[in-house]
């Protein structure tokens, strides 16, 4: 890793990451799996594995980016997975057990059909 | 050097509370949105730019901004963070320390873990900002060893920040050096108290000591030390980037910004919530939390964990902030909110919290060490049906004495669950000692189980699940319970499909 030695370099790096993220969001379906201690205990890693398997089985490796994040704050609906299709607002799904994880890929992504358990957004947040 | 105030960049991030969404996420702004193990992800959300901004101006300016923001300690006490920083910045010493208190110990509270696991860089950055503000080149995170994933992600964050030159020597060419080490706690509740935490960091027993001197004057190795909670730190970069005026325009007159709560217990939407100060309890319970499951009636919520008290169904319009909660005999605490419904016995709840503090008292001062045991014994006596009105008086008297005489916050606040339940649920205490009844049907010693012969179909399920075989009856005929042998476990009550088992 190269060191960042000034504020300007840091700003530049930020702009680069933002541009990279924007182009990813335009081209790819981003699947974001919540993996905090509690999400993992609720089965988050199983959901992640099932998603990875289904993505591979559907040959979607290039169309999908899988991301691992921390707590999504919905304890009552763990494990939670967020899916952002290009050009659409991200949708968070709750209670993603192995079967639902597979359905998210085969139904929601491949066949474009709705899957139950969407958690409504009930917050605004500071996004820098 | 230029002023920090001119560099607030993108104004679209100055988000304000929104009546339809209820929650406003500042401290948990990145949790669930970035990969916590990627420093680039954090840099992409203007990570470390608050530090860079601070480094461009004299340290006093950072202190002034934090002071003006009105941020108060999120660990429970609510001491103004900027004032704390100012005291430490004015104390001259060859070495000062910036400590992060990640010894989250309240039963049911886990917001610090969520932030450390979801956005560890924000803590690293905020500690460096604090270090610059007070003139400390060293920092330490005191974290409980029970948080292995949080530790792993924090370590990775520190390593990556060092590799990028955002931690270590001459950060961003400013000449400012700052490094952080991790200190592991063994999960003792008292070590959340800052003087006990510092002693534990020094390798001594985790016991509090009298203040003054305050850690900001003489703390870790007798040097000026700032101890701030994880959530407090998580707010700092947002305050620097968005400005003190933005932060202080959120919340109530004396409590600014937001608070993260862990909503747990008898509530539909359990989870972490971050709400602007001043939101009413009713909005939290009924709108964000969606009420109690099974359409049971909301009874009370314990805020402040074992140091707090109960807010009741009469308090639903109370605006949540530091001062209002204290006025109600509770406290903000670190943000645990344990919700109780009509099936919960408040005497048992008080006993539960006393059981916790009795285990966690460090034993240094008498009121706490012996007082907690005595309080617990009286509560146990009441819940087992052997209590009298005198016991309630004794409970009240002893609780007040402990509150006034214990050495540290743990002891001083330990009687709160008792005092607040006595205040709000006096009738329940009286029912336990005078009528020998537990109105909520929880205290097993005060219950009797019987079978309603009209409803009993004689299916025999209760007799099968009864662990002491005290239920008898012929097939397809009404069964009966032998009360003299019944251990009041409630298995039959839960198993019966016809509501024929009665609890009274």
Chain A CB within 8 Å of residue B44 CB:
yes
Mean local confidence (pLDDT), B445-452:
89
Distances (CA, A) of B353 to B113, B117, B310, B372, B443: 22, 28, 12, 10, 15
pLDDT band at B441 (very low <50, low <70, confident <90, very high): confident
- Cβ <8 Å between B40 and A17: yes
Chain B CB within 8 Å of residue A6 CB:
yes
Smallest CA–CA distance from B173 into chain A, residue: A5
pLDDT of residue B202: 96
The pTM (predicted TM-score) of the whole model is 0.92
Other Cβ atoms closer than 10 A to B487 = 12
Chain B CB within 8 Å of residue A7 CB:
yes
Q: Please name the residue that has the structure tokens 């358990």.
A: A117
pLDDT of residue B1: 44
pLDDT at residue B7 above 80?
no
Distances (CA, A) of B330 to A9, B57, B309, B311: 48, 40, 4, 7
pLDDT band at B10 (very low <50, low <70, confident <90, very high): low
Nearest to B110 by CA among B43, B44, B31: B31
Which three-class secondary structure state does DSSP give residue A126?
Answer: coil
pLDDT band at B183 (very low <50, low <70, confident <90, very high): very high
Question: For chain A, where are the alpha helices, taking DSSP H only?
Answer: 7-27, 37-41, 44-57, 98-103
The token pair that represents B214 in the structure block? 């305050």
Torsion of Cα atoms, B80 then B86 then B87 then B92, to 10°: 160
CA distance B197 to B202: 9
The alpha-carbon gap from B381 to the nearest alpha carbon of chain A, in Å, equals: 36
Chain B CB within 8 Å of residue A5 CB:
yes
Least confident of B40-44, B124-128, B310-314, B375-379: B310-314
Cis peptide before B420 (omega within 30 of 0): no
Chain B CB within 8 Å of residue A127 CB:
yes
Chain A CB within 8 Å of residue B45 CB:
yes
For residue A25, the chain B residues in CB contact (below 8 A) are none
pLDDT band at B8 (very low <50, low <70, confident <90, very high): low
pLDDT of residue A101: 97
Mean local confidence (pLDDT), B10-31:
88
pLDDT of residue B4: 62
Smallest CA–CA distance from B47 into chain A, residue: A14
Which domains are delineated in chain B? 4-248 (3.40.50.11540), 258-341 (3.10.20.600), 346-433 (1.20.1440.230), 448-503 (3.30.70.20)
For residue B10, the chain A residues in CB contact (below 8 A) are 128
The token pair that represents B55 in the structure block? 């480094």
The alpha-carbon gap from B173 to the nearest alpha carbon of chain A, in Å, equals: 6
- Cβ <8 Å between B34 and A69: yes
Chain B CB within 8 Å of residue A60 CB:
no
Mean local confidence (pLDDT), B470-498:
90
- Cβ <8 Å between B270 and A125: no
Distances (CA, A) of B17 to A71, B99, B249, B332: 22, 31, 10, 20
pLDDT of residue A99: 96
Backbone angles phi and psi of B300, in degrees to 5: -160, 165
- B12's CB contacts (< 8 A; 6+ apart) are none
- Residues of chain A short of pLDDT 70, as ranges, are 1
Smallest CA–CA distance from A83 into chain B, residue: B33
Mean local confidence (pLDDT), B260-280:
95
CA distance B365 to B414: 13
pLDDT tens sequence across A4-37: 999 999 999 999 999 999 999 999 999 999 999 9
ipTM over 0.85: yes
The token pair that represents A63 in the structure block? 């169309």
CA distance A5 to B174: 9
- B352's CB contacts (< 8 A; 6+ apart) are none
Chain B CB within 8 Å of residue A8 CB:
no
The alpha-carbon gap from B420 to the nearest alpha carbon of chain A, in Å, equals: 28
- Cβ <8 Å between A10 and B43: yes
Distances (CA, A) of A74 to A125, B32, B53, B162, B365: 15, 10, 34, 33, 41
The token pair that represents B483 in the structure block? 């009360």
For residue A34, the chain B residues in CB contact (below 8 A) are 32
pLDDT at residue B150 above 70?
yes
pLDDT at residue B2 above 80?
no
Chain A CB within 8 Å of residue B7 CB:
no
pLDDT at residue B14 above 90?
no
CA distance B115 to B31: 6
For residue A19, the chain B residues in CB contact (below 8 A) are none
pLDDT tens sequence across B400-410: 999 999 999 89
Which domains are delineated in chain A? 29-119 (3.40.30.10)
Beta bridge partners of A124: B24
- With contact defined as beta carbons under 8 Å apart, do A89 and A112 qualify? no
Distances (CA, A) of B179 to B38, B46, B116, B165: 19, 21, 18, 11
| B5 or B184, which is more confident | B184
pLDDT band at B17 (very low <50, low <70, confident <90, very high): confident
pLDDT tens sequence across B207-259: 999 989 999 999 999 999 999 999 999 999 999 999 999 999 999 999 999 99
- With contact defined as beta carbons under 8 Å apart, do A102 and A87 qualify? no
- With contact defined as beta carbons under 8 Å apart, do B205 and B191 qualify? no
Question: What one-character DSSP code corresponds to residue B139?
Answer: E
């Amino acid at each position: 890793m190269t060191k960042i030695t000034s504020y300007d370099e840091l700003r530049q790096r930020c702009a680069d990451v933002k541009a990279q993220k924007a182009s990813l969001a335009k081209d790819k379906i981003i699947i974001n799996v919540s993996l905090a201690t509690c999400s993992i205990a609720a089965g988050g890693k199983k959901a992640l594995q099932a998603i990875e398997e289904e993505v591979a089985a559907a040959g979607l490796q290039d169309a999908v980016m899988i991301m691992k994040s921390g707590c999504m704050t919905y304890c009552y609906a763990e494990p939670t997975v967020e899916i952002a299709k290009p050009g659409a607002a991200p949708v968070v799904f709750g209670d993603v057990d192995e079967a639902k994880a597979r359905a998210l890929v085969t139904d929601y992504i491949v066949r474009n059909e709705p899957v139950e358990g969407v958690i409504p957004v009930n917050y605004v947040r500071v996004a820098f | 050097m230029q002023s920090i105030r001119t560099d607030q960049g993108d104004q679209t991030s100055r988000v304000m509370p929104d009546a339809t969404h209820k929650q406003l996420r500042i401290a948990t702004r990145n949790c669930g949105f970035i990969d916590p193990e990627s420093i680039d992800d954090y840099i992409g959300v203007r990570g470390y730019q608050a530090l860079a901004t601070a480094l461009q101006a004299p340290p006093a300016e950072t202190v002034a901004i934090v002071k003006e923001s009105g941020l108060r300690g999120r660990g429970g006490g609510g001491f103004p963070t900027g004032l704390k920083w100012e005291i430490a910045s004015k104390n001259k010493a060859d070495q000062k320390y910036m400590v992060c208190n990640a010894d989250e110990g309240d039963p049911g509270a886990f917001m610090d873990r969520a932030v450390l696991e979801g956005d560890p860089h924000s803590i690293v950055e905020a500690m460096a900002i604090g270090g610059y503000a007070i003139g400390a080149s060293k920092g330490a995170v005191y974290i409980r060893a029970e948080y292995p994933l949080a530790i792993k992600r924090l370590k990775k964050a520190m390593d990556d920040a060092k590799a990028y030159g955002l931690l270590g020597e001459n950060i961003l060419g400013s000449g400012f050096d700052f490094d952080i080490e991790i200190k592991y706690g063994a999960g003792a509740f008292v070590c959340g108290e800052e003087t006990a935490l510092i002693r534990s960091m020094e390798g001594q027993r985790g016991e509090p000591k009298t203040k003054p001197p305050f850690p900001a004057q003489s703390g870790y190795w007798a040097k000026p030390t700032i101890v701030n909670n994880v959530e407090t730190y998580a707010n700092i970069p947002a305050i620097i980037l968005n400005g003190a005026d933005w932060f202080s325009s959120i919340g109530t007159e004396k409590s600014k910004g937001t608070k993260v709560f862990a909503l747990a217990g008898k509530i539909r939407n359990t989870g972490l919530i971050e709400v602007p100060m001043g939101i009413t309890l009713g909005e939290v319970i009924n709108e964000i939390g969606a009420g109690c499951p099974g359409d049971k009636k909301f009874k009370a919520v314990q805020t402040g964990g074992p140091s707090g008290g109960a807010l009741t169904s009469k308090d639903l319009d109370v605006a949540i902030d530091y001062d209002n909660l204290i006025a109600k005999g509770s406290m903000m605490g670190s943000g645990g909110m344990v919700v109780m419904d009509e099936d919960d016995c408040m005497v048992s709840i008080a006993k539960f919290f006393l059981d916790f503090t009795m285990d966690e008292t460090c034993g240094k001062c008498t009121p706490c060490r012996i007082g907690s045991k005595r309080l617990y014994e009286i509560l146990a006596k009441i819940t087992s049906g052997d209590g009298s009105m005198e016991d309630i008086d004794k409970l009240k008297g002893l609780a007040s004495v402990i509150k006034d005489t214990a050495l540290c916050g743990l002891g001083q606040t330990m009687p709160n669950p008792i005092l607040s339940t006595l205040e709000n649920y006096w009738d329940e205490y009286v029912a336990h000692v005078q009528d020998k009844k537990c109105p909520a049907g929880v205290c097993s010693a005060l219950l009797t189980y019987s079978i309603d012969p009209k409803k009993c179909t004689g299916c025999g399920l209760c007799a099968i699940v009864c662990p002491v075989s005290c239920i008898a009856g012929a097939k397809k005929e009404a069964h009966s319970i032998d009360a003299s042998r019944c251990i009041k476990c409630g298995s039959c009550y839960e198993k019966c499909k016809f509501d024929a088992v009665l609890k009274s």
